[in-house]
Amino acid sequence: MAKRDFYEVLGVAKNASDDDIKKAYRKLAMKYHPDRNQGEDAKAKEAEAKFKEVKEAYEMLSDPQKRAAYDQHGHAGVDPNMRGGAEGFGGFGDAFGDIFGDIFGGQGRRGGGRQVFRGADLSYAMEITLEEAANGKDSQLRIPSWDECDTCHGTGAKPGTSAKTCSTCHGQGQVQMRQGFFSVQQTCPHCRGTGKIIPDPCGTCHGQGKVKKQKTLEVKIPAGIDDGMRIRSAGNGEPGTNGGPPGDLFIEIRLKKHDIFERDGDDLHCAVPISFSKAALGGEIEVPTLGGKAAIDIPEGTQTGKQFRLRGKGIKGVRGSYPGDLYCHITVETPVKLTEHQKKLLKEFEESLSKGGGKHQPSGESWTDKLKGFFGA
pLDDT tens digits for range 13-34: 888 888 888 888 888 888 887 7
Q: What is the spatial distance between Cα 329 and Cα 343, in angstroms, rounded to a whole number?
A: 28
Residue 110 belongs to a domain: no
- According to DSSP, the β-strands at 210-221 and 137-148 are antiparallel
User: Same domain, yes or no, for 183 and 291?
Assistant: no
Same domain for 84 and 200? no
Contact in structure between 196 and 166 (CB atoms under 8 Å): yes
CB burial string 230-246: b at 16+ within 10 A, e below: ebebeebbbbbbbebeb
For the beta carbon of residue 49, count every other beta carbon within 10 angstroms: 11
Residue 271 — pLDDT band, cuts 50, 70, 90?
A: very high
> What DSSP character marks residue 47?
H
206 and 163 fall within a common domain: yes
- Do 58 and 169 have their domain in common? no
pTM of structure? 0.57
Asked if residue 311 has pLDDT above 90, the reply is: yes
Identify the sign of the CA torsion 47, 52, 53, 54: positive
| Other residues' Cβ atoms within 10 Å of the Cβ of residue 134 | 22
Mark whether 166 and 75 lie in a shared domain: no
Query: Does some domain include residue 28?
Result: yes
Residue 352 located in a structural domain: yes
Strand partners of residue 183: 178
CATH code for position 129: 2.10.230.10
Same domain, 136 and 217: yes
Whether residue 92 sits in one domain with residue 180: no
The answer to the question of residue 200 being in a domain is yes
Structural domain contains residue 111: no
Looking at per-residue pLDDT, the higher value among 351 and 95 belongs to 351
CA distances to 53, 127, 130, 268 from 255, in Å: 52, 6, 6, 14
Q: Is 55 strand, coil or helix?
A: helix
In angstroms, the CA 230 to CA 249 distance is 10
268: pLDDT strictly greater than 80: yes
Residue 112 forms part of a structural domain: no
Taken in order 196, 202, 203, 207, the sign of the CA dihedral is negative
Q: Which residue has the higher pLDDT, 262 or 171?
A: 262
Query: Mean pLDDT over residues 295-318, rounded?
Result: 92
If asked whether residues 138 and 169 sit together in one domain, one would say yes
Number of domains in the chain: 4
Q: To the nearest whole number, what is the mean pLDDT of the chain?
A: 80
**In terms of domains, do 172 and 251 share one?**
yes
Can you give the residue range of the structural domain that contains 323? Answer: 259-336
**Residue 1 pLDDT exceeds 80:** no
Residues linked to residue 274 through DSSP beta bridges, in sequence order: 332
Question: Are 352 and 320 within one domain?
Answer: no
Q: Are residues 152 and 239 in the same domain?
A: yes
Provide the phi-psi class of 47: left if phi over 0, else alpha when psi is between -120 and 50, else beta: alpha
Which has the closest alpha carbon to 107: 187, 23, 27? Answer: 187
For residues 35 and 62, membership in a common domain is answered with: yes
Please state whether beta strands 267-274 and 326-332 pair in parallel, antiparallel, or not at all (unpaired): parallel
